[in-house]
Chain A
Amino acid sequence: MVTKAKAREELSLSVIDAIAHKHNEQPGAVIPALQEIQEAYGYVPPVAIERIAENIGVPASEIYGIVTFYAQFRLEPVGENLLKVCHGTACHLSGAERIAEAVAQATGAKEGQTSQDGKFTIERVACLGCCSLAPCVMINNEVHGRLTPESVNKIVSEIQEAEKLAQAK
């Protein structure tokens, strides 16, 4: 499991090609290949679409169609921390909009965007399935529940503090 979005890594064609090659004989390989690419880079770089197209023998336009159809795939790099704000039914009823607003304030990133310092990317998701702990937010694959605007603000500041400390060292 990725604990932190691995963004802004150098694009290495050999990695992309290795992933594409691994899948090229399998039927239905495009989606797992794209998922591995995104796992490695945090997003699907345009060059990866071309390489998968060549390796698997599917037109690039079709792969682009797949990437844009599924909500999971991103065509832009993500920040160092990925925050998925849940807007499921239970979260909606418990004030998900206010949590989203507090997240935007604390990180300086709007929904669907990355903060200018590249630290945070904010996504809106349909449901994390942690409804009994609503409202909740997933930060780098870890779910935080029973949030208030204040507590989510605190969690973001803790991440910021921890990174400042790490940098100082």
Chain B
Amino acid sequence: MSWERDRRNGNWAVRVGLASCGLAAGGQKVYDALSAQLNAHGLRNVELKRTGCMGLCYREVLVEVTSPQGKRIFYKNVTPEQVQRIVEEHLVGGKPVAELVIPNDEIDSLLSKQKRIVLRNCGIIDPESIDDYIEAGGYKAIQTVLQSRSPREVTDEITRSGLRGRGGAGFPTGLKWGFARKSPGNQKYVICNADEGDPGAFMDRSVLESDPHSVIEGMLIAGYAIGASEGYIYVRAEYPMAIHRLEIALEQARERGFIGDGILGYDFDFNIGIRQGAGAFVCGEETALIMSIEGRRGMPRFRPPFPAQSGLWGKPTNINNVETLANVPWIILNGANAFNVHGTEKSKGTKVFALAGKIARGGLIEVPMGISLKEIVFDIGGGTSSGLDFKAVQIGGPSGGVIPASLADLPVDYESINQTGAIMGSGGLIVMDESACMVDVAKFFLNFTQDESCGKCTFCRIGTLRILEVLDRISKGEGAPGDIERLQELAQAVKKASLCGLGQTAPNPVLTTLKYFRGEYEAHINERKCPAKKCQALITYEIIPAKCPGCGLCAKYCPADAISGERKKPYVIDPEKCIRCGMCMSVCRLGAISVH
């Protein structure tokens, strides 16, 4: 690990988390300020480093200071203005700035239940430096493989590890490689699926931005195992930073001879190109993704033949997700047994989750399979951010479902999660508190899948729209008796009569919310009430006169001009004009707006 190198050098190391989250929080300005301050103080024994995602996104901008003795301290929510103090007091004076430091117990509770395999280098190495990756043990696995393993042995090692596809479906990776290896043909392909389209998911983006070489090395090993000489990384165009760092990494790997012809002097050629996804969720499905690389509309086709037999340009093709591939070099170096000691009987290793929503400590985490949802939400995530009761988690994005707090003891593995009606999915984990309305959540996801349906299958194209119409009606208080049964019937029909995973799983958010929160649907339909006070048509906003100082801020932001009043006197909302958007409530600093 490179922080060990800092120690050997007797240097201080200062790392700034500069993945998209860190940058969005202002990380570049902090980095520049640090650079200027270090120069101003002439500190030559401090190495300032750019790094990727440290995982503690809720504390961005993060700065980690490692002393020459190896003591690591994390600074939270750092602003450029605070940089001078950190440099002067800590790096010059040797005393950490206590009030800016993340307390040790917080770091402990966050990390003690995690096991970092995929994220082994994230937040530690500079993602734009191949030397950092090599120093951390990078590209050793491909050397080992080329030197002393046959393609079959490599495939067997992955099979023994128990690694399953981390894109969501959980198909055994070794088995998939075996199919592609045995398929006849001189030209084969490896595709890395980085079309992370689930709303609420950012695992793949973070790995690509923080440790791109690990994914490239995983592709090389997969290529060797199946006998492919060409690879594509299909990455969302919405991730400019991930693309930028991948381009740098590919260029560096080419220069060092890890990619190209006769890799490291062995009889193995492998080239990798990037293809940018053009914003179609369905392209995460492997046959649609292949269509898209071939330059067509990304519409799934019937399987078989599977891509392993006939994929890109009709050639045998192996498609793996980013996280799956990032596991591969680690498994080769440490052995299948070191991997499969983690996890449950059928789900081995770890899983990366993007923890977001109403969670106190949101971020990127990696946990051993089999950990309970409760441990993730409370021990790692610190409970809800609002202080309201934890209500449910949404797992698996639009293909997944909602798991209620009452099932929080559930172990996280493929089979247990499938039993709830949700799916493991790619790792989006959205925590919801009591303020979330389950009809609204179902409507949100159906709105998404209905929009993203490619239109090939009638039941997906029209069925998702019909479901959405019923949900919309219910959320407006216009639901009718029999709507719940109608939803269930439509959902089953869409599941059964759709060709690909998008349609087959699209009804899951509806079915799981109905299964666990049927009462909320009934309240909307029978009593015309939204218990969570979320559905606009069923709520009213009012100003509490006693709390309103008459500042006029709400009136300024009201998009409907529904708020009026005189300065320094309580304002009033005109219910006729009010569109119930809640803008007034979110801008009022004094809690003077009530909703009921």
Contact with B along A3-34 (1 / 0, CB 8 A): 00000000000000000000000011111101
Question: Does A95 lie at the interface of the complex (its beta carbon under 8 Å from any beta carbon of B)?
Answer: yes
Q: Which of A65, A136, A144 contacts B297 (CB 8 A)?
A: A65
Is B240 a contact of A89 with CB atoms below 8 Å?
A: no
Output the nearest chain B residue to A35 by Cβ-Cβ distance: B276
Is B276 a contact of A145 with CB atoms below 8 Å?
A: no
Q: How far is the CA of A134 from the CA of B587 in the complex (A)?
A: 16
Is A89 a contact of B25 with CB atoms below 8 Å?
A: no
Question: Does A133 lie at the interface of the complex (its beta carbon under 8 Å from any beta carbon of B)?
Answer: yes
**Residues of chain A with a CB closer than 8 A to B503's CB:** none
Question: Does A98 lie at the interface of the complex (its beta carbon under 8 Å from any beta carbon of B)?
Answer: yes
Is B444 a contact of A92 with CB atoms below 8 Å?
A: yes
Question: Does B428 lie at the interface of the complex (its beta carbon under 8 Å from any beta carbon of A)?
Answer: yes
Q: Which of A141-167 contact B (CB under 8 A)?
A: 141-146, 148-150
B56 CB → nearest A CB, Å: 9
A110 CB → nearest B CB, Å: 11
Q: How far is the CA of A87 from the CA of B447 in the complex (A)?
A: 11
Question: Does A168 lie at the interface of the complex (its beta carbon under 8 Å from any beta carbon of B)?
Answer: no
**Residues of chain B with a CB closer than 8 A to A71's CB:** 278-280
| Given A129-B196, A132-B57, A149-B587; A70-B201 close (CB under 8 Å) | no
Output the nearest chain B residue to A93 by Cβ-Cβ distance: B357
Question: Does B197 lie at the interface of the complex (its beta carbon under 8 Å from any beta carbon of A)?
Answer: yes
Q: Which of B287-295, B488-496, B567-575 contacts A (4 or more CB under 8 A)?
A: B287-295
Output the nearest chain A residue to B445 by Cβ-Cβ distance: A89
A93 CB → nearest B CB, Å: 6
B464 CB → nearest A CB, Å: 15
Is B583 a contact of A90 with CB atoms below 8 Å?
A: no
Q: How far is the CA of A37 from the CA of B114 in the complex (A)?
A: 45
Output the nearest chain A residue to B583 by Cβ-Cβ distance: A98
Query: Which of B58, B278, B444, B586 has most A Cβ within 10 Å?
Result: B278
Q: Which of B16-24, B85-93, B410-418 contacts A (4 or more CB under 8 A)?
A: B16-24
**Residues of chain B with a CB closer than 8 A to A105's CB:** 557, 559
Q: Which of B423-473 contact A (CB under 8 A)?
A: 428, 430, 432, 436, 444-445, 448, 452, 454
Q: Which of A76-118 contact B (CB under 8 A)?
A: 87-90, 92-93, 95, 97-98, 101-102, 104-105
Contact with A along B348-383 (1 / 0, CB 8 A): 000000111110001110000000000000000000
| Given A65-B297, A89-B430, A126-B197; A72-B279 close (CB under 8 Å) | yes
Q: How far is the CA of A76 from the CA of B356 in the complex (A)?
A: 34
| Given A31-B278, A31-B295; A131-B24 close (CB under 8 Å) | no
A34 CB → nearest B CB, Å: 8
Question: Does B275 lie at the interface of the complex (its beta carbon under 8 Å from any beta carbon of A)?
Answer: yes
Output the nearest chain B residue to A66 by Cβ-Cβ distance: B297
Query: Which of A71, A92, A129, A133 has most B Cβ within 10 Å?
Result: A129
B126 CB → nearest A CB, Å: 19
**Residues of chain A with a CB closer than 8 A to B452's CB:** 126
Question: Does B541 lie at the interface of the complex (its beta carbon under 8 Å from any beta carbon of A)?
Answer: no
Is A132 a contact of B355 with CB atoms below 8 Å?
A: yes
B28 CB → nearest A CB, Å: 10
Question: Does B300 lie at the interface of the complex (its beta carbon under 8 Å from any beta carbon of A)?
Answer: no
Q: How far is the CA of A71 from the CA of B238 in the complex (A)?
A: 11
Q: Which of A37-78 contact B (CB under 8 A)?
A: 58, 65-66, 69-73
Q: How far is the CA of A98 from the CA of B356 in the complex (A)?
A: 19
A139 CB → nearest B CB, Å: 11
Question: Does B343 lie at the interface of the complex (its beta carbon under 8 Å from any beta carbon of A)?
Answer: no
A54 CB → nearest B CB, Å: 16
Is A132 a contact of B21 with CB atoms below 8 Å?
A: yes
Q: Which of B238, B313, B363, B583 contacts A27 (CB 8 A)?
A: B313
Output the nearest chain B residue to A30 by Cβ-Cβ distance: B295
Output the nearest chain B residue to A56 by Cβ-Cβ distance: B295
**Residues of chain A with a CB closer than 8 A to B292's CB:** 31
Q: Which of B24, B196, B454, B581 contacts A133 (CB 8 A)?
A: B24
A52 CB → nearest B CB, Å: 11
Q: How far is the CA of A31 from the CA of B280 in the complex (A)?
A: 13
Question: Does B303 lie at the interface of the complex (its beta carbon under 8 Å from any beta carbon of A)?
Answer: no
Is B281 a contact of A126 with CB atoms below 8 Å?
A: yes
Q: How far is the CA of A69 from the CA of B297 in the complex (A)?
A: 6
Is A1 a contact of B20 with CB atoms below 8 Å?
A: no
Output the nearest chain B residue to A2 by Cβ-Cβ distance: B240
Is A72 a contact of B205 with CB atoms below 8 Å?
A: no
Query: Which of B58, B292, B297, B358 has most A Cβ within 10 Å?
Result: B297
**Residues of chain B with a CB closer than 8 A to A30's CB:** 295-296
Is B586 a contact of A98 with CB atoms below 8 Å?
A: yes
Is B358 a contact of A93 with CB atoms below 8 Å?
A: yes
B106 CB → nearest A CB, Å: 16
Q: Which of A66, A73, A90 contacts B430 (CB 8 A)?
A: A90
Output the nearest chain B residue to A63 by Cβ-Cβ distance: B295
Q: How far is the CA of A31 from the CA of B275 in the complex (A)?
A: 9
Question: Does B327 lie at the interface of the complex (its beta carbon under 8 Å from any beta carbon of A)?
Answer: no
**Residues of chain B with a CB closer than 8 A to A149's CB:** 557, 583, 586-587
Q: How far is the CA of A72 from the CA of B280 in the complex (A)?
A: 8
Question: Does B329 lie at the interface of the complex (its beta carbon under 8 Å from any beta carbon of A)?
Answer: no
Contact with A along B564-596 (1 / 0, CB 8 A): 000000000000000001110011000000000
Is A73 a contact of B356 with CB atoms below 8 Å?
A: no
Question: Does B307 lie at the interface of the complex (its beta carbon under 8 Å from any beta carbon of A)?
Answer: no
**Residues of chain A with a CB closer than 8 A to B24's CB:** 130, 133, 136, 142-145
Output the nearest chain A residue to B238 by Cβ-Cβ distance: A128
Is A29 a contact of B295 with CB atoms below 8 Å?
A: yes
B202 CB → nearest A CB, Å: 4
Is A98 a contact of B202 with CB atoms below 8 Å?
A: no
Q: Which of A73, A89, A98 contacts B444 (CB 8 A)?
A: A89
The 3 closest A-B pairs by CB, nearest first: A132-B57, A71-B279, A70-B278
A/B interface sample: 26 pairs, CB < 8 A: A28-B294, A29-B295, A31-B275, A31-B295, A32-B275, A35-B276, A66-B296, A66-B297, A71-B279, A73-B278, A89-B199, A89-B430, A89-B445, A90-B357, A93-B430, A97-B582, A98-B586, A101-B559, A125-B238, A127-B201, A129-B196, A129-B201, A131-B201, A143-B24, A149-B586, A150-B587
Interface residue ranges, B against A (CB under 8 Å): 20-21, 23-25, 57-58, 60, 196-202, 205, 237-240, 244, 275-276, 278-281, 292-298, 313, 354-358, 362-364, 394, 397, 428, 430, 432, 436, 444-445, 448, 452, 454, 557, 559, 581-583, 586-587
Other A-B contacts than A87-B199, A127-B198, 20 sampled, CB-CB below 8 A, are A1-B240, A1-B244, A27-B295, A31-B275, A32-B276, A66-B296, A69-B454, A70-B278, A72-B279, A89-B356, A89-B394, A89-B397, A89-B445, A101-B581, A104-B559, A131-B202, A143-B23, A143-B24, A145-B24, A149-B557
